[in-house]
Amino acid sequence: MLGNCLKFNKSFIFLIILIFFQSFVLAQDKFPAQNITIIVGFPPGGSNDIVTRIIAPKLGEILGVSVIVENKPGANGTIGTDLTVKSAPNGYTLTLGSSNPMSVNPNTMKLPYNILRDLRPITTVAYTPTVLAVNPNIPINNLSDLMELSKTRSISIATSGNGSSAHLGIEKLKLETQGNFIHVPYKGAAPAMADVTGGHVDAIIMDYPAIVSLVKDGRLKIIAGLKGQDQGQTTFIKNNWFAVMAPAKTPDKVVQILFDSFVKTMNDPDIKNQLSKIDFYPFLQESPAATLNFLKSETTFYGNIVKKTGIKVE
- Tens of pLDDT, residues 198-245: 999 999 999 999 999 999 999 999 998 865 444 444 678 889 999 999
Q: Tell me, yes or no, whether 2 lies in a domain.
A: no
Q: Tell me, yes or no, whether 259 lies in a domain.
A: yes
Q: Tell me, yes or no, whether 1 lies in a domain.
A: no
Domain closes at, from 224, 256, 290: 224
With 0.75 as the threshold, say if the pTM is over it: yes
- Give the count of domains, the chain: 2
Are residues 102 and 246 located together in one domain of the fold?
yes
Residue 26 is predicted with a pLDDT of: 39
Domain that holds residue 62: 29-127+239-309
Domain closes at, from 224, 247, 273: 224
Q: What is the pLDDT of residues 241-273, one digit of tens each?
A: 999 999 999 999 999 999 999 999 999 999 999
Are residues 63 and 95 located together in one domain of the fold?
yes
- Whose CA is closest to 123, among 144, 94, 149? 94
Q: Tell me, yes or no, whether 21 lies in a domain.
A: no
Instruction: Report the pLDDT averaged over residues 115-130.
Output: 96
What region, left, alpha or beta, does residue 199 occupy, with left being phi > 0 and alpha being psi -120 to 50 degrees? left
Q: Tell me, yes or no, whether 232 lies in a domain.
A: no
Contacts of 31 (CB under 8 A, 6+ apart): 91, 253, 254, 257
Are residues 276 and 289 located together in one domain of the fold?
yes
Q: Tell me, yes or no, whether 14 lies in a domain.
A: no
Are residues 272 and 146 located together in one domain of the fold?
no
Are residues 281 and 209 located together in one domain of the fold?
no
Are residues 81 and 217 located together in one domain of the fold?
no
Q: Tell me, yes or no, whether 12 lies in a domain.
A: no
CA separation (Å) from 272 to 127, 130, 260, 278? 12, 19, 17, 10
pLDDT interval class at 16 (50, 70, 90):
low
Q: Tell me, yes or no, whether 4 lies in a domain.
A: no
Domain closes at, from 191, 224, 257: 224
Are residues 68 and 114 located together in one domain of the fold?
yes
Q: Are 286 and 93 in contact (CB under 8 A)?
A: no
Mean pLDDT of the chain: 89
Is the pLDDT at 306 greater than 60, yes or no? yes
**Residue 269 maps to which CATH number?**
3.40.190.150
**Residue 205 maps to which CATH number?**
3.40.190.10
pLDDT interval class at 63 (50, 70, 90):
very high
